[in-house]
Every structure is written in structure tokens, then in C-alpha cells.
Amino acid sequence: MIPKTYEAFQESLDLNAPPKDWPDSLRSLWFAAKEDWDASHDIAQEIHTSMGSWIHAYLHRWEGDKWNAGYWYRQAGKPFPEYGLDEELKVLVEAHL
């Protein structure tokens, strides 16, 4: 079942893996929240939507690649955030829910 709130999403982090019936974007965010950059990136780079670009941007920002992150924020139609990574993850999850 897809979580209805950010708090419910956070509770799902106790699982060993995200549910298979979740959309790829939410699964990617789940791996990001578990600090598994590679798994999150593997999924995000195959999501050819503005949400996929936004997640991709977040991931490159997280790794410190500001130039690459900037490219993906532009692809997503989003400004480069002025807030921290934890807040952006929450904004991303809430935008998906």
C-alpha cells in the first residue's frame, strides 16, 4: 500500500525493501531515505518524467555534483533549492504522495 503521509513513508523505512507495487519514483525515494544512493540513482535515471529528473537532481546534489544537479533541476523545471537535503527529501516525498 502506498503511504498517505510523510510519516507513514518514514515508517516504511523499517522494511527490508520498498513494496514492489510502489511506483518507481517512490521506490527511488525510499532508497534515498535509506541512504542507498546507488539503488536510488539506478531507478531514478530510468524515470523519464519531471519527477524522475527532480529525484535525479536531488541525488546529484546529495553527492556534491552541483553542475550535474543544476542540469537535472532545469530538466525538472525546478529551481536549485535554498534548503537542506533532508527538507528536500521530505518535499519530494510529499509531492509524490
Is the pLDDT assigned to residue 59 strictly greater than 90? Answer: yes
How many helices (DSSP H) and strands (DSSP E) are in the chain?
Answer: 6, 0
CB-CB contact of 92 with 65 (8 Å): no
φ and ψ at residue 84, rounded to 5 degrees = -75, 170
pLDDT attached to residue 87? 98
What's the rounded Cα separation, in Å, for the pair 65 and 71? Answer: 10
pLDDT attached to residue 1? 87
What's the rounded Cα separation, in Å, for the pair 9 and 29? Answer: 10
User: For residue range 19-48, what is the model confidence (pLDDT) as tens digits?
Assistant: 999 999 999 999 999 999 999 999 999 999
Q: For residue 46, count CB atoms less than 10 angstroms from its CB and return exposed for 0-12, middle for 13-18, buried for 19 or more.
A: exposed
